[in-house]
Chains A and B, each alone.
Chain A
Amino acid sequence: AQSVTQLDSQVPVFEEAPVELRCNYSSSVSVYLFWYVQYPNQGLQLLLKYLSGSTLVESINGFEAEFNKSQTSFHLRKPSVHISDTAEYFCAVRKDSGGYQKVTFGTGTKLQVIP
């Protein structure tokens, strides 16, 4: 079975500063990786995903994540955060195999952007 670890439950950062939200996974097989974001009082939304190909994936709002197979990591980064990035971010993993595979979520990291 796969698992996801998000060691940081909360990350405060000043506006316009860079941020990195850490995600490590464990799996005995190849995986797909995801970052979801949950804004206050809203449902989870897919932010970005790694399925195959380039190990660096980007979102439309300036976030990026890099799949590192040797370190089993998929950290999320943004070079300059905005107040509107304040939200909870969940890393998720599923097996890379045919048919339906369950998605396993991490415990989430709350990003608090300070003006």
Chain B
Amino acid sequence: DTGVSQDPRHKITKRGQNVTFRCDPISEHNRLYWYRQTLGQGPEFLTYFQNEAQLEKSRLLSDRFSAERPKGSFSTLEIQRTEQGDSAMYLCASSPRSSYNEQFFGPGTRLTVL
């Protein structure tokens, strides 16, 4: 399978714990995006990378959130001191240079904060 992959698919954690999610984009896609999706809502933009550079961050991305893409390939999204309001589906997407208007989405990581 050469699509976008995300790990883990599900994460249950206690309030106050730190969690880290991984996204592997489609090979050679130079743009990578993180979104958050809560029940009854569409995906909300969090941040995006072009190669290893993080070029835009949403105001939704509080200082407890950090994302990296150190080698311009996979990316990680870390949430520190999780809160119940962080419970959501975290989506990763990537797009190639040839078609920035199409984003290829992964299956998402569902986070539940107890």
Interface residues of A (CB under 8 A from B): 4, 9, 32, 34, 36, 41-46, 49, 51, 90, 92, 94, 100, 102-108
Contact = CB atoms under 8 A, between A and B. Distances in A.
B102 A107 contact: no
A42 to B, nearest CB: 6
B91 A44 contact: yes
A105 B102 contact: no
27 contacts: A4-B42, A9-B40, A32-B101, A34-B101, A36-B105, A41-B107, A43-B3, A43-B104, A43-B106, A43-B107, A44-B93, A45-B105, A46-B102, A46-B104, A49-B102, A100-B31, A100-B55, A100-B56, A100-B100, A103-B45, A103-B103, A105-B44, A106-B42, A107-B41, A107-B42, A108-B40, A108-B41
B56 A102 contact: yes
A46 B103 contact: yes
A42 B56 contact: no
Contacts of A45: 105
A9 B44 CA distance: 17
B107 A42 contact: yes
